[in-house]
């Protein structure tokens, strides 16, 4: 479940459905996705490690600017584009042979 939620939220962030500066709480993630707090916390930790989210004291989590993200982290398709053979290139480009 956490892996699916990482992919879903990561793609929403990568596709700018949740633009930089958007804030939300673990409780909101639980409510929106029907996830347990444990799954939501694990998901947020993974997205924080990827640089996509930043914790904000007394606010929750904030979507980080794109320049803070790990370069083309292949767990989440770049710009929402499908991966080929588990590889991807920045900005949704095709992997080189």
Question: What is the tens place of the pLDDT at every residue in 71-82?
Answer: 655 556 555 444
Length of the chain: 97
Q: 31 φ, ψ to 5°?
A: -65, -45
Residue with the bigger pLDDT between 31 and 70: it is 31
Q: What is the pTM of this model?
A: 0.72
67: left (phi over 0), alpha (psi -120 to 50) or beta: alpha
Domain positions in the chain: 2-88
When the candidates are 3.30.460.80, 3.40.50.1980, 3.40.50.720, 1.10.10.10, the CATH number that belongs to 2-88 is 1.10.10.10
With bands split at pLDDT 50, 70 and 90, how would you rate the model's confidence at 67? confident
User: Distance between CA atoms of 78 and 13, rounded to whole angstroms?
Assistant: 10
């Amino acid at each position: 479940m956490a892996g699916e939620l990482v992919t879903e939220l990561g793609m929403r962030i990568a596709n700018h459905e949740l633009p930089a500066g958007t804030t939300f709480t673990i409780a909101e993630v639980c409510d929106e996705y029907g996830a347990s707090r444990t799954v939501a916390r694990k998901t947020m930790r993974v997205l924080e490690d990827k640089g996509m989210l930043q914790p904000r004291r007394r606010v929750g989590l904030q979507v980080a600017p794109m320049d803070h993200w790990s370069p083309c982290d292949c767990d989440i398709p770049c710009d929402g584009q499908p991966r080929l053979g588990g590889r991807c290139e920045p900005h949704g480009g095709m992997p080189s042979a």
